[in-house]
């Protein structure tokens, strides 16, 4: 048995090694055939490997916080079509390299749904990267400063799905538009990108301080994009009493708090 475990270690079959004891007992108890037994233990190894890959890919995606479709309350905002989101989750858009744009005010679940779609893509064996637009700009600025040409670009081009969150949350630094255009242009018709924005598309020129670049970004991004415009109230302030919620003051407070927190 120790020799067997040694051999399994040499072959890097740790998943199989884990369950071997239990499987041997099971085989004796239910008189499994040799082939059946072999199939069972190899399947154990495969399951462990798939689980590890899922964990590795989820970590690499660098989600803000892992949110899933199961965590989403579909009753809260009936403007969001459960059916449409589940159809997207099936992943056909990834095979067609289509993009998705979530539009709508803060707190309605754009980041949640974008990350949940990302997690579904990982479960289907895809590589995913989640970045806020600020992280994206910072990554490219650093890349330039350290003369690591193309390293960052490669990171943004390789995954089958890149999620760029938080357009519209804050004014962006100079040249942001050029970095975003580079990513969008290279992924265009080649790999899927999900973006979220709480500002209408007409404002993107101002946000990026560069109207022509914003136009070039949107032209490509929207060409095959599925746009999901959501209206409704913020999930973050759902617990505030209704009577207060309507007053000007609390509205202002809610706006301030959602603008301050990562939206
Ligand atoms: P947005 O990106 O649109 O500003 P988020 O996706 O960050 O909003 O949502 C704000 C918070 O509320 C998050 O913690 C998110 O998980 C939660 N949330 C939003 N909508 C729902 C919902 N319908 N069901 C469950 N949680 C939700
Ligand atoms: Mg958000």
Confidence of residue 147 (pLDDT cuts 50, 70, 90): confident
Instruction: Please report whether residue 154 resides in a domain.
Output: yes
Enumerate residues lining ligand 1, CB below 6 A. Answer: 67, 71-73, 76-77, 106-112, 235-236, 263
Mutate to test the pocket of ligand 1, among 64, 67, 102, 112 (most ligand atoms within 8 A of CB): 112
Q: Is residue 133 domain-shared with residue 16, that is, in the same domain?
A: no
Instruction: Please report whether residue 18 resides in a domain.
Output: yes
Instruction: Please report whether residue 127 resides in a domain.
Output: yes
Confidence at residue 145, expressed as pLDDT on a 0 to 100 scale = 77
Structure-token match 């020129």, residue found: 205
Confidence at residue 240, expressed as pLDDT on a 0 to 100 scale = 65
Q: Is residue 227 domain-shared with residue 103, that is, in the same domain?
A: yes
Q: Is residue 11 domain-shared with residue 129, that is, in the same domain?
A: no
Whether residue 116 is predicted with pLDDT greater than 50 in this model: the reply is: yes
Measured by CA distance, the residue closest to atom 10 of ligand 1 is: 107
Range of the domain at 35: 2-58
Q: How far is the CA of 262 from the centre of ligand 2 (A)?
A: 6
Cβ atoms of 206 and 79 closer than 8 Å: no
Q: Is residue 117 domain-shared with residue 218, that is, in the same domain?
A: yes
Q: How far is the CA of 166 from the centre of ligand 2 (A)?
A: 5
How many CB atoms sit inside 10 A of residue 181's CB?
A: 21
pLDDT of 194-222, one tens digit each? 999 999 999 999 999 899 999 999 999 99
Mutate to test the pocket of ligand 1, among 67, 78, 104, 107 (most ligand atoms within 8 A of CB): 107
Q: Is residue 46 domain-shared with residue 95, that is, in the same domain?
A: no
Mean pLDDT of the residues in the chain: 90
Instruction: Please report whether residue 71 resides in a domain.
Output: no
Average pLDDT over residues 48-57: 95
Instruction: Please report whether residue 77 resides in a domain.
Output: no
pLDDT of 152-184, one tens digit each? 999 999 999 999 999 988 889 888 999 999 999
- Rounded to 5 degrees, what angle do the CA atoms 29, 31, 36 make? 120
Q: Is residue 127 domain-shared with residue 182, that is, in the same domain?
A: yes
Confidence at residue 263, expressed as pLDDT on a 0 to 100 scale = 47
Instruction: Please report whether residue 69 resides in a domain.
Output: no
Residues 247 and 119: their CA atoms lie apart, in Å, by 38
Q: How far is the CA of 178 from the centre of ligand 2 (A)?
A: 22
Domain of 110, CATH number, reads: 3.40.50.300
**Torsion angles phi and psi, residue 173, rounded to 5:** -65, 165
Confidence at residue 239, expressed as pLDDT on a 0 to 100 scale = 66
Whether residue 248 is predicted with pLDDT greater than 80 in this model: the reply is: no
Question: Which atom of ligand 1 is least distant from the CA of 114?
Answer: 6
Q: Is residue 32 domain-shared with residue 93, that is, in the same domain?
A: no
Percent of the chain with pLDDT over 70: 90
CA 185 vs CA 176, 188, 192, 216: distances in Å: 14, 5, 12, 9
Q: How far is the CA of 9 from the centre of ligand 2 (A)?
A: 45
């Amino acid at each position: 048995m120790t020799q067997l475990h040694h051999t399994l270690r040499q072959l890097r079959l740790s998943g199989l090694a884990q369950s071997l004891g239990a499987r041997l007992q099971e085989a004796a108890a239910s008189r499994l055939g040799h082939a059946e037994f072999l199939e069972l233990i190899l399947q154990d190894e495969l399951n462990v490997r798939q689980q590890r890959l899922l964990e590795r890919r989820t970590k690499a995606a660098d989600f803000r916080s892992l949110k899933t479709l199961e965590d989403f309350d579909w009753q809260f905002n009936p403007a969001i079509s459960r059916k449409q989101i589940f159809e997207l989750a099936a992943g056909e858009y990834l095979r067609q390299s289509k993009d998705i744009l979530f539009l709508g005010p803060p707190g309605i679940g754009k980041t949640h749904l974008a990350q949940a779609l990302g997690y579904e893509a990982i479960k289907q064996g895809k590589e995913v990267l989640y970045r806020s637009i600020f992280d994206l700009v910072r990554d490219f600025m650093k890349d330039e400063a350290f003369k690591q040409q193309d390293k960052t670009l490669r990171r943004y081009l390789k995954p089958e799905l890149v999620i760029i969150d938080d357009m519209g949350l804050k004014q962006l630094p100079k040249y942001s538009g050029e970095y975003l255009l580079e990513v969008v242009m290279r992924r265009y018709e080649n790999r899927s990108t999900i973006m979220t924005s709480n500002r209408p598309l007409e404002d993107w020129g101002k946000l990026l301080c560069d109207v022509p670049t914003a136009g070039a970004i949107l032209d490509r991004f929207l060409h095959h994009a599925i746009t999901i415009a959501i209206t409704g109230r913020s999930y973050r302030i759902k617990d505030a009493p209704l009577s207060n919620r309507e007053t000007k003051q609390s509205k202002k407070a809610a706006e301030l708090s959602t603008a301050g927190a990562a939206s």
